Structures are given as C-alpha cells and as structure tokens.
Amino acid sequence: MSCTTILAGRKATNDGSTLIARTDDGSFDVKKLVVVPPKKQPRVYHSVIAHAEIPLPDDPMPYTACPNVVPGEGLWAATGINAANVGMTATETITSNPRVLAADPLVRYRKAEKRGGKDTPGGIGEEDIVVLVLPYIHTAREGVLRLASLLEQYGTYESNGIAFNDENEVWWLETIGGHHWIARRVPDEVCVINPNQFGMDSFDLDDAFGAQEAHLCSADLREFIADNHLDLNRGSFDPRSVFGSRTDMDHIYNTPRAWFMGRYLAPQSFRWDGPDADFTPESDHIPWAVIPDRKVTVEDFQYLLGAHYQGTPYDPYINRDTGMRGMYRSIGINRTGVTSICQIRPDAPDCAKGLEWVCFGSTTFSAFLPVYPNVPELPAYLSKVGAEPSTENFYWSSRLIGALADPHFSACAQLIDRYRSAVAVRGRELVIECDRALREAGDPGRMREANDKLCAMAREETDAALGKILLEASRQMKNGYNRADN
C-alpha cells in the first residue's frame, strides 16, 4: 500500500510533543475510527491474507484503530493510540532490491499443491501488525521489540516501515526481506520524511550490537550482510544503499515527495531549486531526517500530508501547462482512506496525553479533527460508518467534498481552506477547554464529552462546506446555459 510518513522528535515540535503521521493510501478503502476494548481483542488472531494463526497475550489494553468497514482482506487497523499513551502507525510500504529479497525471501501464503496436503501460512503484514502489537506495549521501544519478535518468528510477506511514539521517544522500524529488521530511535531534534522507500540513510551498527541506546536490529544482521555481499558502501554504513532501491519508478513516485517535504521543512538549510540545488525531485540522496529550520506544529504536518506540489511547476492543479504539471505522484491523492497524526503531549494530564488527529479521504480537501483516544467509545460520526455513502458520518462526507471539489479546484480552493481552518481553530479551542477542565476536575469523562462536542462541530462545519462546494460544482457543470428572457 502506498503511503507517506512524517515523524517528529520532541525537540523538533513547538510544544514538546512527539508526532507520528501517515496517509493510508489504499484503494478508496472505507474507514472508521473506533476504540477496541480488551473484551473485543482476540486471544488467537487469524490473518486473512496469510492464513496464519497467532496466539496473543491475555492482557490487552484498550486502543484506537482505523479498520476497514467493508469485509475482505482483513481488518487493516492502520493506526492508533493505546491506554498507555503509545502511538503506532503501520505500515509504510517500502522498497527493497533483488539481492535482499533473494537472500531472505518474503514469506507468502502457499496453497497445498496436492489434494489433502497442507497449506503453508504466510507471514504478518499491514493487515495484521497494529492488532498484534499496539494493545500490549507501554513504550515506543517496547513496540519495536514486540514487532521484531513477531517478524523473526512468523516473517512478513511484504516490505514495511512502522513508527511508534510515546511521551519521550519516536522509533522507526523497517523490515529487511522476510525475517530481518532494523530500527532506530528518531533523534529528538529532527523530522523524518519517508515516502514508500526504504528510508534510513545512516545506522550505528556498533550501538546496535553494543549498548543499544538508539539502534536495534536482527541479531545476525552483520553476518546476513557479509554472507550475501550486500554492502555497497564506501565509508559509513548507509542502510538505504544496502537494503533499499534506486529505480526510475522511485524518481517519479517516491523521491519527489521527500523533496517537497524537505523543501518545506528546511528551506534555508539546503538549496532545493535551481541549477545549483543540493537536492532535486529525483535525487537518490535526499536525507531521511532533517532538522527543521523552525519548530514544527500539527498544522505543518497537515499541510504536508495534503500537499500536491503547490508553488512548483509539478502541481496538477496549476492553471497553466508547464510541461511538468502532474508529472510526479502527489502526497495528497484521491484514494486515501484515512490519515492520522498520533500526538503524545508531555504537558497534558496523564489520561489525555494522547491526541489523535484523524482525516478521512483525500487529504488535499479534508479536515483533520482532534480526538481523545482514551475513552470507552467514540461518537457515531467517526465510528458508525457503513459501506454506502451517507452524510451521517465524517468519512463519507469527506469523500464527497473531495470528489466535488477536485474537478473545480480553482473555484473551490478558498472554500476548502476556510473549511479546514475552521475545523482546526474550533477543534483546538475545544481541546484547550477540555484540557483545562481535566486539570481542574480530573474527571476522565470530560474527554468523552469533548469528543461529542468535537464531532458535533465537525459535522456542522463539514455539512456547511459540502453545501457550498456542491453549489459551486453545480454552477460549473458543463450543461449550464443562461438565456435572458423578456
């Protein structure tokens, strides 16, 4: 599944929060946001794609998830925050190369060749990972270690990157072939930009095989690299050159997104445009992590996750034909199911440190709504979503807004900006109000009340925006004709 991930350490953000965010770019998957209580968490997990059976611990915590609404290829829980205020997003589909995949093949489900024979289960993948890990971890580092043990035991059928965050740390894990893995603690002062490629471009193997302060990996990774002649480096160890890809498709589909995000986050630290640019949209060496020129906010993440190369010749919505319009894959695309920003806030009351910003549909047109995850259940506007379109929920209303506004971008752009801004401002006001009440009264029930208010506000703003955009799209219909009657 193609997605875009952005991460930020606590010293890179304006309020000391850690942030992990990802667009879940499926195939117009119908999504909802729910709380999974312990009684609903399975004790034996059955994967649909891999046909694997995995026993689970008996002590799950409540957690949020964004599962698929339409039955098919499993849950695809996507992202969430658990009761210990640990966030997780899984997964960013990444690239690899034939040398790695031949040395440690992906673990794919295979049907029995003969009648009466046994099928061979596959490994774990994006369908499964959140459900298998998030309910059982109390820190971001624990998330890495639990997932790593599952990868080593069951393997995986795809190449993926997974992010975890808690109040203090952000960790990023990337799979290597079927059973190997590598993980790094994101430095506190940086933002990570990771668009569908193997991302890490530096790694301290000595730390990984020593103190393990900020680097973890498979126990046999050094032997795996040496035995299979994988190291392409001249000098310091660059995992991206060893385990990743460098293809023409990357230059159209992946690297331009990293270029746009880096260009936005660090415009003064590097040259991103012109003949003397340090990096172009097709550069293979765009940094995985950058120190932003100023501290970043949730709104910066929202802007980037909905980006379409605005301000460049590559913008698909630009009015003039530049010869380069739409030539690169945008970050905000039509088929996104859900996007979330998991924010863990150090200065919030303990029960409310986690805040999940959720956006449905194309991020170019949709609004991000903050939600308190540590509650018994979420309002129907987020959690009661059906397979058929309806303005009774946030998911389908967001999809409708995007589909109506896209063909008439110039006419609707200002309406979209006003809508997104209104939800952001009013959403923050309600969060400030709830946080203040929690500090004064300490009643966790306030979070449930706040979620009700947040969803009521989102519905009011979304319905109003939908009406205005529908009117504008109706005016732009090609069968319009005006005649002055006497």
- Residues designated catalytic: 3
If one counts every other C-beta atom within 10 angstroms of the C-beta of residue 313, the result is 13
Helix, strand, or coil here: 171? strand
Cis amide prior to 156 (ω within 30 degrees): no
Question: What one-character DSSP code corresponds to residue 31?
Answer: B
Phi and psi, residue 188, nearest 5°:
-60, -30
Exposure of 238 in the CB half-sphere (CA atoms within 13 A):
15
Which distant-in-sequence residues (6+ apart) come within 8 Å of 322 by Cβ? Answer: 313, 314
Cross-strand pairs, 360: 338
Tokens 């890809």 correspond to 245
Phi and psi, residue 31, nearest 5°:
-125, 160
- Decide: residue 425, CB within 10 A, 0-12 exposed, 13-18 middle, 19+ buried: exposed
Largest CA distance in the chain: 89
Exposure of 169 in the CB half-sphere (CA atoms within 13 A):
16
Both structure tokens of 312: 């460049």
Exposure of 4 in the CB half-sphere (CA atoms within 13 A):
28
> How far is it, in rounded angstroms, from Cα 241 to Cα 237?
9
